[in-house]
A = this chain, B = another copy of it.
Amino acid sequence: MPKVVDRNARRYDIADATLRLAAREGLEAVSIRSVAAEAGMSAGAVQKYFATKDELLLCALDLSDERLVQRWRELPGDAPLTDYLREALPLDERTREENALLWSFTARAAYRPEWARRIAASYRELHDMLVAALGGTAGESAETSEGRSVDDLAHAIIALTDGFAHRMMQHSPDDPEVEGLLRALEHAVTVLLTTDPLLPSGPQGQTGPVTTEQ
């Protein structure tokens, strides 16, 4: 196995350990030492890959993003938009870890502008991907009511998904309340997709596939 692959695999093992630890005990529990213990490595071995706690955390956030995109790639091409949204929600242990990390980052970004920029950039990418999937062009036609509507709709769908994910985090994945919240999310998305009077192509239903190619 070429050395570079080996190096990446090792980085991801460490990032995975960081993600597990941060979800279980919070960002403040993350250190080179604690992550090394979680990964079953020596602190010196971890430091060959990551010099600081912040590098560890950013790599864990990247890993979390990549896992989501990987799940999206595995969906059938004609899956409805709500199937894509579902993958971002804390509906099992794994996605709960990812969400816990995301909310911890947000909390920290409130007083760390460079983290806020990292998160904002990732949202911008997600937004533009969603605008394209909805059949619009982000920004370009922002002056027309149509362009604005697709931009706004994409923002709204992202916000709904985040807001419901935030609610679901207050319950364990098997709490019946989570099912009700999921239904409310899907209902709201359907209403927005089918009845927004400003959408360029009129009522669209909920069947348009979302491409996740980057």
Contacts and interface: CB of A to CB of B under 8 A. Distances in A.
Q: How many copies of the shown chain assemble into the complex?
A: 2
Interface string A181-198: 101110110011001110
Given A103-B103, A163-B164, 14 more contacts: A26-B111, A27-B107, A100-B111, A106-B169, A123-B167, A152-B184, A155-B164, A155-B167, A159-B160, A159-B163, A159-B167, A159-B184, A163-B166, A166-B166
Interface of A: 23-28, 96, 99-100, 103-104, 106-111, 116-117, 119-120, 123, 148-149, 151-153, 155-156, 158-164, 166-167, 169-171, 177, 180-181, 183-185, 187-188, 191-192, 195-197
Q: Which 6 A-B pairs have the closest CB atoms?
A: A159-B163, A163-B163, A156-B188, A100-B110, A162-B163, A155-B184
28 contacts: A23-B111, A25-B111, A26-B108, A27-B28, A28-B28, A96-B110, A103-B110, A106-B169, A107-B107, A109-B169, A116-B170, A120-B177, A151-B184, A152-B188, A155-B167, A155-B180, A156-B184, A156-B187, A158-B163, A159-B166, A159-B167, A159-B188, A162-B167, A163-B163, A188-B192, A191-B192, A191-B197, A192-B192
